[in-house]
Structure 1
Amino acid sequence: MLGEPGQAGQPGAVGSPGSPGGAASTVSNTLKVQVQAVAALDRIIVRTVDMTLVVQDVREAVDEIAELATSSGGWVVASTRSGNHTAFISFRVPAEGLDAALDEVRLLTVEVESESSTAQDVTDEYTDLEARIRSQEASEDPLITLLDSARTVEDTLKVATELARIREDLESMQGRLNLLAQTSVFSLVNVFLNAEPTEMQVDAGSDLAAAVGEPVAFTATFEPPEGTEDYEIEWDFGDGSGLGNFRRTAATVIEGQRITSAVTHVYGSEEHSPFVVSVKITGIGDTGVSEGEDTLIATVSEIPVLDVFAGESINVEAGENIGFAGTFTRPVGVGELTYRWDFGDGSNPVEGVLEEGLTVAKAVHTYVNNRPIPYTATLVISGVADVGEIEGRSSLTVRVREAEGWVIADWNVGSTFKNGIQALSAVGVYGVQGLIWAVALSPVWILALIVLGVVRWRTRLRSA
């Protein structure tokens, strides 16, 4: 190409010329004329342009760019299309008409997403190839003369082999030389086409409050155009943690509406709160591409701490009324405080609402049954903060012993009566056991057994 180097960028692929019909003939004639002029240039520049464009109709844009390349004296190198939403076309145009062709391409777009141009100076390589070609051509003539004067088959084969090698090198270098000339004469343009997305309604949900270190779930609802099959969902949680990309969605009970799968995120600090959370959804289908996005505000703060003290351990008798009085703190920003006493004996807990200013939760309970293992009474204080419902709890042990009976002058009537009953019971049990053994070991029973044995013996003798 003639001219100065363009902007820095990545070089595109170099293709081979060729197009159907009369366009091919026009390109061929133009190429021959311009290649002949390349050698006379001071600098030989190869320019490549890469573009990413947003268009209304991908199919129509591909056809218009192909027609533009042909009408500009160039040709289409390659063209591919994926559905109705993406396509790629690569074409060459004469270098002197590149800028005009690019202007025409830009007119076809809704938006130019990116554009880069590279200019590669190949003058040194071109000059080197020319010198090597002249050198090889100079070596070819003497070999032809030797081949004509060779007298033996062996000499003829040696010369022919060397001549074939030289001609192969010449063809390779000439091909590279022609390629440099052609690519400098005809600039390459690579165009990536994306269909303009249609608007899609997206709802990220209401603003929310989150606690530091606690997971918070995000979902979004949206209404995709009919025919949309694939979705790309991009969440940005606003704290610099990076983007989350997801694809799973499900239909809702509302016709035509879908919901994204729940995404959880944990904020590690309340610094820079509140955070702007955004979600962007891209739908792809036969009808093309659709896009929508929405934002919400996430206010992050530390979880308020409810300090609760249920009290010291208690020792009581079964059936005795016990007064419980647990204390607690009231953090700033926490309201709607309630309490619950659970006494650990299977009875119903005692619950209530704590009025403003109170820091003591009281309850009265009676343990009916004693047991060797202590009961555990638990006080739970609950409240509502910006981050949601919070609670604090504390427990104490309650040892319940057996209740004492009547006591008169340090004499426990109930205990004495019980001990007496237990003693009489023991005497009765032992007496009965002794009587049984006495009867079992009595001489009467021994005599009876002897008589029974004698009778049975005499009966057997008679029978014999």
Structure 2
Amino acid sequence: MALACGGGSSEGVPNSEISMVEEFKAPSNSPVQETDQVVQSERMLIRNGRLEFETENLEATSQQIQSAVKKYQGYMGSEQSYNTERRQSTTVNVRIPSRSFDGFIEDISGGVEQFDVKDISARDVTEEFLDVEARMKNKKELEARYQEILKKAQNVKEILEIEREINSLRSDIESMEGRLNYLKNQVSLSSIQITYYKETPKVTAFGKEFSNGFRSGWRNLVWFLVGLVNIWPFLLLSGFAILIIRKQITRIKSKNS
């Protein structure tokens, strides 16, 4: 490795220290120890849910959800409302402390006759968390060793190479810290999507029937007039023909009498 090179100087970083760091960088597999850790540690579960149901009162259901969120010290996320001819619906996303997940679901279920969707999921991330945590610990220890070696470096080449290794380790450590924080957040707070809706019955009132009938009649009248305009020459000729025939008939009757 270039770190061992110092232009032949005996004042550079000792080869023994570099070798120790290289050996430390090699991953060590200890499945038995990891399994023991998983068994002894509390399981880390990410619990999420999705509910969808019909309600008779949208406002009352909204108040029920808000009260439950406040009761269990959660918070409301995004909320969308939709209105169509046959349905009014609202979808809300809430975050609830995982320890209160079951209680919250039970409170929301009160008064619901039947769920269209009730999807409860749990994902165990214990092993992933312990694995990332262990690898991050190793990288931090390796970073500390490089920091000690950096203090003993006496030429630019050694300094640059050691700093490059430290920067690479620091980037990995920050990425792992971000992953651990994300897992902790997902484990501590459950995400629940709730969709509730009210069916709007399609009722045709007398006024609406009258209005529809009037529009339909007017539309038919317009089409009738348009048809007359298109055939007016034929109507005119037919009228003349009828007049001539009637005159002829009248004349014949007069002669016979």
Instruction: Give TM-score scaled by structure 1 length.
Output: 0.33
Distance of 2:194 and 2:121 partners within structure 1: 14
Kindly indicate whether residue 96 of structure 2 is the aligned counterpart of residue 93 of structure 1.
Answer: yes
- Change in Cα spacing, 1:183 to 1:172, as seen in structure 2 (3 Å) is same
Between Structure 1 and Structure 2, which shows a larger proportion of strand residues?
1
Shift of 1:139: 0.7
Distance of 1:131 and 1:154 partners within structure 2: 31
Q: Is the 8 A contact 2:93 2:194 kept in 1?
A: yes
1:129 — aligned with what?
132
1:253 — aligned with what?
213
Shift of 1:41: 3.1
2:41 — aligned with what?
41
Give, as a single letter, the amino acid of the residue that structure 2 aligns with 1:112: F
2:158 — aligned with what?
155
- Change in Cα spacing, 1:252 to 1:61, as seen in structure 2 (3 Å) is same
Kindly indicate whether residue 65 of structure 2 is the aligned counterpart of residue 105 of structure 1.
Answer: no
Kindly indicate whether residue 50 of structure 2 is the aligned counterpart of residue 53 of structure 1.
Answer: no
The DSSP-based 3-state class of the residue aligned with 2:73 is: coil
2:243 — aligned with what?
none
- Change in Cα spacing, 1:145 to 1:77, as seen in structure 2 (3 Å) is farther
Q: Please, which runs of 5 or more residues in structure 2 have no aligned partner?
A: 1-37, 216-257
The DSSP-based 3-state class of the residue aligned with 2:139 is: helix
1:197 — aligned with what?
199
Give, as a single letter, the amino acid of the residue that structure 2 aligns with 1:192: T
Kindly indicate whether residue 106 of structure 2 is the aligned counterpart of residue 146 of structure 1.
Answer: no
- Change in Cα spacing, 1:144 to 1:113, as seen in structure 2 (3 Å) is same
Q: Is the 8 A contact 1:77 1:91 kept in 2?
A: yes
Deviations for 1:8-59, whole angstroms, at most 9, x for unmatched residues?
xxxxxxxxxxxxxxxxxxxxxxxxxxxxxx9963422211111112234446
Distance of 2:111 and 2:58 partners within structure 1: 10
Q: How many residues align?
A: 173
The DSSP-based 3-state class of the residue aligned with 2:182 is: helix
- Change in Cα spacing, 1:79 to 1:225, as seen in structure 2 (3 Å) is farther
Shift of 1:158: 2.4
Shift of 1:115: 0.3
Q: Is the 8 A contact 1:62 1:89 kept in 2?
A: no
Distance of 1:191 and 1:225 partners within structure 2: 37
Give, as a single letter, the amino acid of the residue that structure 2 aligns with 1:161: R
The DSSP-based 3-state class of the residue aligned with 1:132 is: helix
1:115 to 98, 113, 118: 118
2:180 to 161, 177, 194: 177
Shift of 1:62: 4.0
- Any residues of structure 2 matched to 1:62-461 within 5 Å, and which? 62=62, 64-83=64-83, 85-107=88-110, 109=112, 111-194=114-197, 196-201=198-203, 223=204, 252-253=212-213
Give, as a single letter, the amino acid of the residue that structure 2 aligns with 1:117: I
Give, as a single letter, the amino acid of the residue that structure 2 aligns with 1:53: F
Shift of 1:75: 2.0
Q: Is the 8 A contact 1:89 1:191 kept in 2?
A: yes
Distance of 1:123 and 1:156 partners within structure 2: 39
- Change in Cα spacing, 1:56 to 1:171, as seen in structure 2 (3 Å) is farther
Distance of 2:82 and 2:48 partners within structure 1: 24
Distance of 1:58 and 1:104 partners within structure 2: 16
Distance of 1:162 and 1:226 partners within structure 2: 81
Tell me the percent identity: 20
Q: Is the 8 A contact 1:72 1:94 kept in 2?
A: yes
Q: Is the 8 A contact 1:133 1:173 kept in 2?
A: yes
Between Structure 1 and Structure 2, which shows a larger proportion of helix residues?
2
Q: Is the 8 A contact 1:55 1:111 kept in 2?
A: no
Give, as a single letter, the amino acid of the residue that structure 2 aligns with 1:77: G
Distance of 1:226 and 1:112 partners within structure 2: 37
Q: Is the 8 A contact 2:48 2:121 kept in 1?
A: yes
Q: Please, which runs of 5 or more residues in structure 1 have no aligned partner?
A: 1-37, 202-222, 228-250, 256-464
Deviations for 1:271-324, whole angstroms, at most 9, x for unmatched residues?
xxxxxxxxxxxxxxxxxxxxxxxxxxxxxxxxxxxxxxxxxxxxxxxxxxxxxx
Distance of 1:187 and 1:64 partners within structure 2: 19
Distance of 2:189 and 2:206 partners within structure 1: 43
Shift of 1:90: 1.3
The DSSP-based 3-state class of the residue aligned with 1:182 is: helix
- Change in Cα spacing, 1:254 to 1:104, as seen in structure 2 (3 Å) is farther
- Change in Cα spacing, 1:131 to 1:225, as seen in structure 2 (3 Å) is farther
